[in-house]
Amino acid sequence: MSVETQKETLGFQTEVKQLLNLMIHSLYSNKEIFLRELISNASDATDKLRFEALAKPELLEGGAALKIRISFDKEAKTVTLEDNGIGMSREDAITHLGTIAKSGTADFLHHLSGDQKKDSHLIGQFGVGFYSAFIVADKVDVFSRRAGLAASEGVHWASKGEGEFEVATVDKVERGTRIVLHLKKGEEEFADGWRLRNIIKKYSDHIALPIELPKESVSSLESDAEADKPAEVEWETVNRASALWTRPRAEVKDEEYQEFYKHVAHDFDNPLAWSHNKVEGKLEYTSLLYVPGRAPFDLYQRDASKGLKLYVQRVFIMDQADEFLPLYLRFIKGVVDSNDLSLNISREILQKDPVIDSMKSALTKRVLDMLEKLAKNDPEQYKAFWKNFGQVLKEGPAEDFANKEKIAGLLRFASTSSDAGEQSVALADYIGRMKEGQDKIYYLSGESYAQVKNSPHLEVFRKKGIEVLLLTDRIDEWLMSYLTEFDGKHFVDVARGDLDLGKLDSEEDKQAQEEVAKAKEGLAERLKAALGEQVAQVRVSHRLTDSPAILAIGEQDLGLQMRQILEASGQKVPESKPIFEFNPNHPLIEKLDAEPDEERFADLSHILFDQAALAAGDSLKDPAAYVQRLNKLLVELSA
């Protein structure tokens, strides 16, 4: 290797300094992950070379077999990892090794919990896998040359992990990357062939290219003459080196599936479930799909990485192929390997290929079947899934009309059947508990469980023992605008329109309601005159048993939750007025009806209206006027 030229010393950005400090001083519970991360990076580099060589075969530079080699020197206390993948140019080294995307690093730092074991699991998920080398090394040298560049355009990147790195141009005959780790004092255990073999078997056995180590000599009967000769290094492959998804299911152990998931998802937890399938016939492809055990930090970020790893005839094509699953299943990890996609396919062509639509439809059904199986066979695991991904799954009915019923069956809600407030009720369970004569699924949405469980809207349902679903996620009202029925039963918002319980009300009940409404027509007119433009209508309520009044939403009006979301996003909200419903049997309403003083009647009417708004979870338009009227009433009562 020639003398280094164009040597520069550059500083890391502030976040990287913090990150290196954490790597070096905090994340010690799983030191061996450094090798998994460096092997995964080398595997990605060879995948990228294969892909670029489809268009430029000259990048293969003679076509030597792609491989990863790991060696060590006990005396020098070094571990060296070498690949003949795509390699890096000088600019690549500065870009990829000297900086990390600022948002990614800041998010990584933000998500550290202080628990070393948990924190070490985050490495790799945030694109900071290379920096895990500093857990065991006090200096890292990287020698690299990008495929296609001249031998004189190699690069040497070096850092002690102390906030600066050096980069210089060097000669490098072979393309690819060689990383030399200078082990810290106390980390000499990693300069050992058996230790390295065990780590590779544990984390990287499934990597689909050979990982070679020097062959360990087991013979101690060498002659002196043989011992004096410099031994030629014999290399042996220590991993299985076959794409796991191409093997028959019966041959793959659960532990292998779990380790492969950790490689694909950069996760340290086991997946909740997986589905491995080979499809033959009109379409030919293999898929291995995983349901993660926890949500990634960027699940709700618009530009977050999502999608499956795409291979065509075992040749890596794309890392985040998001055309194979709908957006509401963006949390699914895995690989899809197809024989039906042409190799020179570009991202744009991929999106328009009719084969993709067929595969997307089949893979979506596969995932939904896997979730159904998980919910049926392991409710506790499904509860964990729902906690992490339930709100994302609720995007499904709007996005995927064809599978709306299937998705609805996977949804979970809180309900009045339990005081725990846990989202654990499936729609099928609700239907199984429906009262005789009930033909609708009743629900109530609101800001929080505490608010909706005590809502006056539920009074008549409690009296009759009818279960009501309680929806408190921000997405719920939007969801229900797309989810109109399940298993032939229509959904009914108990806070909307004029409540009709159908066969659950007897003919006598309905007749009594009509008579009361007729008797209180005069009071309804007085209340409408007092409340004026604040209400669309005033009527006798069939929902109330204990409260004096409530506000109902018009049949076609936006609900409170949706209005708040639109207002928060700065959108214009259409004007709508609530319907004021009163309970004719409540003592307050009876006193109000008997009040001769119109001014006092108006004050009491406004107090009841504001109280009904508060009970519905709405904010008061004029809180000062409400307090003034209430104080005036309190003074009169205490006089």
pLDDT category at 568 given cuts 50, 70, 90 is confident
Choose which CATH entry (3.40.50.11540, 3.40.720.10, 3.40.50.11260, 3.40.1670.10) describes domain 411-495.
3.40.50.11260
- Where does residue 593 rank: exposed (0-12), middle (13-18), buried (19+ CB within 10 A)? middle
What pLDDT is attached to residue 556?
A: 72
pLDDT category at 310 given cuts 50, 70, 90 is confident
Query: pLDDT tens digit string along 66-79?
Result: 999 999 999 999 99
| Best mean pLDDT range from 101-105, 373-377, 605-609 | 373-377
CA distance 95 to 357: 37
- Where does residue 527 rank: exposed (0-12), middle (13-18), buried (19+ CB within 10 A)? buried
- Where does residue 62 rank: exposed (0-12), middle (13-18), buried (19+ CB within 10 A)? exposed
What is the SS3 assignment for 10? strand
pLDDT category at 388 given cuts 50, 70, 90 is very high
Entry pTM: 0.68
Domain boundaries, the chain: 5-216, 244-385, 411-495, 507-638
Could you tell me how far CA 336 lies from the centroid of its own chain?
Answer: 20
pLDDT category at 463 given cuts 50, 70, 90 is confident
Residue 399 is classified by DSSP as H
Least confidently predicted of 54-58, 80-84, 161-165, 276-280? 161-165
- Torsion angle, alpha carbons of 489, 493, 496, 502, to 10: 40
Q: What CA–CA distances, in Å, run from 522 to 510, 514, 528, 540, 601?
A: 20, 14, 10, 11, 14
Identity at 214, one-letter amino acid code: P
Residue 347 has pLDDT above 50, yes or no: no
Average pLDDT estimate for 73-97: 91
% of the chain beyond a pLDDT of 70: 85
As its CATH architecture, domain 507-638 has Up-down Bundle (1.20)
What pLDDT is attached to residue 352?
A: 62
What pLDDT is attached to residue 291?
A: 95
Higher pLDDT, 17 or 150: 150
Residue 222 has pLDDT above 50, yes or no: no
Whether 373 and 275 have beta carbons less than 8 Å apart is answered as no
Higher pLDDT, 219 or 48: 48
For residue 224, the tally of other CB atoms under 10 A from its CB is: 6
**Residue the block writes with tokens 């020698």:** 143
CA distance 291 to 86: 31
**Residue the block writes with tokens 């796991």:** 244
Choose which CATH entry (3.40.50.720, 3.30.230.80, 3.40.30.10, 3.40.50.1820) describes domain 244-385.
3.30.230.80
What pLDDT is attached to residue 314?
A: 62
Residues 6 or more apart whose CB falls under 8 angstroms from that of 229 comprise none
What pLDDT is attached to residue 632?
A: 84
Query: pLDDT tens digit string along 394-443?
Result: 999 999 999 999 999 999 999 998 888 889 999 999 999 998 888 899 99
Higher pLDDT, 435 or 124: 435
Query: pLDDT tens digit string along 471-521?
Result: 988 888 889 989 999 999 999 998 887 777 777 777 777 788 888 888 888
Token digits of residue 572: 């214009």
**Residue the block writes with tokens 């030629």:** 232
Average pLDDT estimate for 310-329: 78
Least confidently predicted of 344-353, 382-391, 491-500, 521-530? 344-353
| Best mean pLDDT range from 44-48, 248-252, 259-263 | 248-252
Higher pLDDT, 202 or 275: 275
What pLDDT is attached to residue 221?
A: 40
Whether 629 and 606 have beta carbons less than 8 Å apart is answered as yes
Average pLDDT estimate for 547-556: 84
pLDDT, averaged across the chain: 83
| Domain 5-216 class, CATH top level | alpha beta
- Measured at the CA of 142, the angle between CA 45 and CA 158, to 5 degrees, comes to 145
